[in-house]
Amino acid sequence: MREDSLQHQAEVGVAGRITPGAGRYRGKDADERRAERRRRFRDAGLEMFGAGPGYRGTRLADLCRTAGLSTRQFYEEYRTLEDLLADLHLYVNDVAERAVIEVLPRVQDRSLPERITAMLHAYVQGATSDPRHARIAYVEIIGVSPRMDRQRLERRAAWIDFIGRTADQAVERGEMPPGNYRIAATGFIGAVNGLMHDWVVGWVDATMEEIADELLQILLGRYKITL
């Protein structure tokens, strides 16, 4: 699997039912108008799902009012509110993913503990710097539908693969003993999701840095790595 495989998004049906007309309007062509509409619906979804009543408490009319657009325009972009949630779930995961990928070139020549520390802190920063992202990724997505469960598990699998590749590279460099680290990676991702969920809903009183440090100790302890 390629190093950038995390960037490959899961296939989800979020296409709208209506194709907007061509031609320019107020200086923008159809593609530009559609991109603007989608941005406004995403912004409204982030606010409603991630900071307001949440996905289950959001009505379509209220979301459209927040976006300053009509329900007709919503159906040009999405079929249902769940389509918007699916779109946002992939988006907030991509933000965290890019944070990790961007740090890789700067740490590739450092020791394993330094690489893991930098990547983990980059992930937590990318996932939680906007509280709305964290709520969507770790709370609002849970138990919505079989489709959303599949998408969530596909994204988890991508992170598990990433950790597995990181372990394999460390083995090749003589930094870790050979072994199958997939089970450990799966358990660690489960710990991440559980801790982040409880932190988002207020059951864990800690700063973002404390969360990152705790996850780091879990990971380093499993792989018997000393800072």
Residues 115-143 have a mean pLDDT of 94
Question: Which of 19-33, 48-62, 111-125, 145-159 shows the lowest mean pLDDT across its residues?
Answer: 19-33
Model pLDDT, residue 224: 54
pLDDT digit string (tens) for 53-76?
999 999 999 999 999 999 999 999
Model pLDDT, residue 222: 59
Model pLDDT, residue 25: 47
How far apart CA 16 and CA 178 sit, in angstroms, is: 48
Model pLDDT, residue 3: 41
199: its two tokens: 């932190």
Residue 28, helix vs strand vs coil: strand
Average pLDDT of the residues of the chain: 86
Residues 172-198 have a mean pLDDT of 91
Model pLDDT, residue 181: 87
Model pLDDT, residue 217: 87
13: its two tokens: 């049906």
CB 159 within 8 A of CB 74: no
